[in-house]
Structure 1
């Protein structure tokens, strides 16, 4: 079975057995019918993927192209304008798109925002790649999407808000930090797309692929996701697929969706889970 399925099942079981409900609080999130979207959660969960195989679920279909499109939108396009998503028929941000057809100063905006670092104008992504290549021993390889000055102008505060990169013995390790993670819907997306990002960065910087560590401060399951997840947990996982990434790409900004192919992805049918807003 795929290792990601086993890690995921352990996480879901942990929340079911040890999580706390927030039904004693006035929660922000609601369902489409206006009722509160309560969650059961555990605090501070760390997941580690050795990256010996692709960390994508097989107990349900994960829309892998949409996951990569979102990551390309953030890290390659570096914009909050939703036109790229529309062009590729990706609808995952529809609920948070404003009247200007963007998501405010969130995610891609922060990655593409011009900044002056070490005497030159750059952005967070280009600076990261430059420093990984020229200053590998640094412990300051950090990207932050949480800019307190811009929070009021974001349609949604960043959930996966920070990542740090470390190079040890020529191996590139990635640590991803999430303040909050919807385990039913968002989490499978996030783990896979940051694995893809790690592969991309490793390819253009020339390092070997190391571990992916995913830290979740509030790992939660929505009340209406309980039954679908219990059904999913009964499914027997399949072996993990293989991800091909075009080896000809040496410049990070040249990556497009056509440079990725998920091979031998065998999965159980999708499980419908309502999205909380």
Structure 2
């Protein structure tokens, strides 16, 4: 994963200090590209422990067209909790402690972090046990899963982009139109978080499937390791579906940034020596990627350095 570490080093050395939507502040650069040869190992960051189970369950959540955090919370995946939680604590129904700017405040105040944790526990329990509450506050709007599987068309129908692109790869592998987009301008304002990984394209050559992702906004410490592994996994899954080998994953970043409260963590990670990449195993029991469960996908030989904690900017 030298490519990822080089990205971190480049931003630290050449990035511009900028303000951002969250009020945290970043060091940022615009336009950066990494390439990973998927035949040489699965690109899961080894300089800190990265939870493959969470990456897998989130990707399968997208693939199934789901947009409600209830599914993820039931699988002990809390990647999206903060955005749904924010919707609840800003509502008239919420009557607990003041949660204004809870992400940044909790990062600076351990006592307030405990209060947030208590309220988050209440929120998750209500999501799992109260269907009406989950429908109201668990749904994130028309985020990735909706756009991938049910893009609204002008005739009132919907377009299954993911299923269509798989069929296109099978039937017309040399096409230059193997594209899925999550950026829907007419629905961006309805999303809890506008898509960061905005569109991706597949390319077939020499019996191998490659994928290029354009990511408009890239949280380099927390988000990018997940994004690399997620789209590498998606490439593997679709290659298997289409009876192809894997080629490259090309990751193109727009605004690539390190948050100001992640600098120490990035430097700690850069002090560590990368280890050998793991390998990916996909069960042969399911015929379609749309039927896969988290337990059907495993990585073998993953021996990372310990996890490095950092606050998320909401």
Q: Classify the secondary structure of the residue corresponding to 1:175.
A: strand
Instruction: Look up the match of 1:78.
Output: 65
Pick from 256, 259, 273: which aligns with 2:293? Answer: 256
The Cα shift of 1:249 comes to: 3.0
Instruction: Look up the match of 2:21.
Output: 28
Distance, in Å, in 2 between the alignment partners of 1:191 and 1:115 is 28
Pick from 13, 18, 24: which aligns with 2:14? Answer: 18
Instruction: Look up the match of 2:196.
Output: 159
The structure number with the bigger radius of gyration is 2
The Cα shift of 1:114 comes to: 5.7
The Cα shift of 1:122 comes to: 4.9
Q: Are 2:44 and 1:56 aligned?
A: yes
Q: Classify the secondary structure of the residue corresponding to 1:180.
A: strand
The Cα shift of 1:199 comes to: 0.4
Q: Are 2:233 and 1:196 aligned?
A: yes
Q: Are 2:167 and 1:134 aligned?
A: no
The Cα shift of 1:115 comes to: 5.8
Pick from 92, 96, 99: which aligns with 2:83? Answer: 96
Q: Are 2:247 and 1:210 aligned?
A: yes
The Cα shift of 1:170 comes to: 2.0
Distance, in Å, in 2 between the alignment partners of 1:115 and 1:180 is 24
Tell me, which stretches of 5 or more residues in structure 1 are unaligned? 30-35
The Cα shift of 1:250 comes to: 2.6
Q: Are 2:83 and 1:87 aligned?
A: no
Contact 2:215/2:253 (<8 A) preserved: yes
Q: How many residues align?
A: 261
Distance, in Å, in 1 between the alignment partners of 2:8 and 2:153 is 43
Stretch moving more, 164-173 or 205-214 = 164-173
The TM-score with structure 2 as length reference comes to 0.80
Contact 2:4/2:34 (<8 A) preserved: no
Contact 1:174/1:211 (<8 A) preserved: yes
Instruction: Look up the match of 1:67.
Output: 55
Runs of 4+ in 1 over 2 A off after TM superposition: 114-117, 247-250
Tell me, which stretches of 5 or more residues in structure 2 are unaligned? 89-135
The Cα shift of 1:116 comes to: 6.7
Instruction: Look up the match of 2:212.
Output: 175
Q: Classify the secondary structure of the residue corresponding to 2:211.
A: strand
1:50-78 Cα offsets, whole Å, 9 max, x none, are 11111011111001110111111011x21
Distance, in Å, in 2 between the alignment partners of 1:115 and 1:105 is 10
Contact 1:203/1:247 (<8 A) preserved: no
**Structure with greater helix percent:** 2
Distance, in Å, in 1 between the alignment partners of 2:59 and 2:75 is 13
Q: Are 2:192 and 1:149 aligned?
A: no
Instruction: Look up the match of 1:33.
Output: none
The Cα shift of 1:194 comes to: 0.7
The TM-score with structure 1 as length reference comes to 0.90
Distance, in Å, in 1 between the alignment partners of 2:77 and 2:214 is 24
Contact 2:148/2:160 (<8 A) preserved: yes
